[in-house]
Structure 1
Amino acid sequence: MLQGDYLHLFLGGIAVTLQLFLTCAVLGFGLACVLMGIRLLPTRAAGWLVDAFVEYHRNVPSLVQLFVWYFGVPQLLPVATQDWVNAQGGEMVFAVIALTLNAAAYTSEDLRSGFRALPAGQREAATALGMNYLQTLRKVLIPQAVRAAAPSLVNQALALFKSTALAMAIGTGEMMYVTRQIEGETYMTFQTFAVASLFYLLGSWTLMLLGGLWQRRITLRMAR
């Protein structure tokens, strides 16, 4: 099983899964910070738009969101744009978009909870020091919100890692897609899914370990 062409396929699937996870994690966190910044604006309409975005991604199944992007959105694009996206690897592109937006919605809620846990007056103090709105977000509010929300952010990273398996449904060549491909060729159902399960188990353990180290580092920094 773990030799020759099948080993090569498994390794390729692992590489695509990790690429998908890391890309969505970075983009999702960045977008979540933007969403939190919009929520803090005095304009109510902006907050309502963010609320609508979050509610959609929290209440519609992730698989449906993937299908909307892969099957629905291309119908709205010009033919030239569709051809360009397909040339770039449409399955991967739409998987990244769908999972990134989903992760951003959940992560923004984690950051929002972290922000609510901050002592009152942080924003006013930053303004008194001469910081503008973006500086206040970048240097004061977001770093502290991240510290407060660290456990939730680690859990969200785990959820995103496991959600990458959904990309199989639109043909993205990640671990589960490769697993189904090998299982279809060999009929060794238990063995192939055991390999996939072991990969996700080890990946989740690694994320939990790194998350624990990160949280301890944050705690030590705050204690100084």
Structure 2
Amino acid sequence: MRRRRGILFVLSSPSGAGKSTLTRRLLDTDPDFELSISATTRARRAGEIEGKHYFFVSRPEFERMVAQDEMLEHAEVFDNRYGTPRAPVENAIRSGRDVLFDVDWQGAQQLRASDLGQSVVQVFILPPSIAELERRLRARAQDSEAVIARRMAKARDEISHWAEYPYVLVNDDMDRCFEQMTTIIAAERLRWERQSWVFPKVNALYEEFGRRHGQDNGGCR
């Protein structure tokens, strides 16, 4: 039986900082994590699978989900809507599983402000330099010059929100950055408020103290 509540682990960064690589590596190495699947209004690309890469919905359906509080967070990015359906996330953390979010600062703010905010752990990934960020975008050979220019323009705004995150890492070495990230996860999982066994254990200790010494146990409230 799992003995803790799951965490909502949020990774944010400008495009090209290495967030996607860190995300894949974490999912490949930590069986307690699952990736939050976003809903989007953008068209499905070749090879994308419904429910695995995204939930593809119409704009009216997306707006209905927002209006009925079925989204934990949502934003408009490059003329398309993206958001996180609430139900799968709530089911995961109740069962003790951790959910990994690949969202921007707007999504991170909304998650932190939601009714699940106490379960949120946020990490911002910085590139080693702007020149390296642009080099990585070009090396992917996935985007046109116009798209790269848009991503670079957006990067400045994204980086300006770094101080909203309790943890900030520089991805100048992928192995070191990943090790630092997993250290954060290990520490956050051990926080007592995430542990379902702590109150019963402390109460049992007080009760034992009362039996042995004849005093009121004064247990946890």
Instruction: Give the TM-score range, shorter chain.
Output: under 0.3
Flag the structure with higher strand content. 2
**What TM-score does the superposition give when structure 2 sets the normalisation length?**
0.27
Flag the structure with higher helix content. 1
